[in-house]
């Protein structure tokens, strides 16, 4: 059996998980509500404050879905209790970010500023401290959506290998290359 799929998911206090007859799992908690459609072959049941995911056979398809849906449901439970957070830093001279409501206004070295509209589930804030790179902090209860938004922001100006300028995740290591002068 799948090592991940076999693990039970503990529900924190204040979190409820319901499964509709159409195999849609709904998780409600203090930070909101998340929904996920589950394959009809996979069964989800709640016993004694724990969620158990089972599969009907050992087919490759069922084995693959078993661990997948366990991970997705576990991320939903963590999302509605604690939430998720991603931090991006803008490395480069003149790179700035400002947040107005659900819009991020970024100056990334292009001839114009980039304005990005955020989904309503994602909250953003921008910080700029003297002597440090500006940071964008994204928070949401949906891990998949948060990662997608963070990847979209990073794709606007990926870190380049020569000077390391661009948008990167905090803690991300950018492999640096030597310039032309070092090749001689």
- Domain spans, the chain: 3-81, 84-169
| Beta strands 43-47; 50-54: pairing state | antiparallel
> At residue 26, what are phi and psi to the nearest 5 degrees?
-120, 125
Q: Which residue has the tokens 């921008």?
A: 126
pLDDT of residue 12: 87
Q: Same topology for domains 3-81 and 84-169, yes or no?
A: yes
Could you report the per-residue pLDDT of 87-114, keeping only the tens digit for each? 999 999 999 999 999 999 999 999 999 9
pLDDT for res 3: 81
Q: Which pair of structure tokens corresponds to residue 158? A: 């990926």
Q: How far apart are the first and last CA of the chain?
A: 56
Fold of 84-169: Outer Surface Protein A; domain 3 (3.90.930)
Tell me if the domain spanning 3-81 has CATH number 3.90.930.12. yes
Give pLDDT tens digits for 141-150. Answer: 999 999 999 9
User: Considering the entire predicted model, what is its pTM?
Assistant: 0.88
For position 184, what pLDDT does the model report?
58
Q: Give 6-60 pLDDT, tens digit per residue.
A: 889 999 888 999 999 888 999 999 999 999 999 999 999 999 889 999 999 999 9
- At 161 the three-state DSSP class reads coil
Return the pLDDT at 2. 61
pLDDT at 51: 92
Residue 158's pLDDT band, with cuts at 50, 70 and 90, is: very high
Going from the C-alpha of 146 to that of each of 43, 86, 124, 135, 169, the distances in angstroms are 27, 8, 10, 16, 13
Q: Are 30 and 14 in contact (CB under 8 A)?
A: yes
On the question of pLDDT at 1 being above 80, the answer is: no
Tell me, what's the pLDDT at 178? 87
* CA–CA dist 104, 9 (Å, integer): 36
């Amino acid at each position: 059996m799948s090592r991940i799929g076999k693990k039970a998911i503990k529900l924190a206090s204040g979190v409820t998980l319901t499964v509709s007859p159409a195999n849609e799992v709904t998780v409600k908690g203090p930070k909101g509500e998340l929904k996920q459609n589950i394959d009809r072959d996979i069964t989800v049941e709640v016993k004694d404050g724990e969620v158990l995911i089972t599969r009907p056979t050992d087919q490759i398809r069922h084995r693959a879905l078993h661990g997948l849906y366990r991970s997705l449901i576990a991320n939903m439970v963590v999302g509605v209790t604690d939430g998720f957070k991603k931090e991006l830093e803008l490395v480069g001279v003149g790179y700035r970010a400002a947040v107005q409501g659900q819009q991020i206004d970024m100056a990334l070295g292009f001839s114009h500023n980039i304005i990005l509209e955020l989904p309503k589930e994602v909250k953003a804030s921008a910080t700029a401290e003297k002597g440090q790179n500006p940071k964008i902090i994204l928070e949401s209860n949906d891990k998949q959506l948060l990662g997608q938004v963070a990847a979209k922001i990073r794709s606007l100006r990926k870190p380049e290998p020569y000077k390391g300028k661009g948008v990167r995740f905090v803690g991300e290591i950018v492999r640096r290359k030597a310039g032309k002068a070092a090749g001689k």
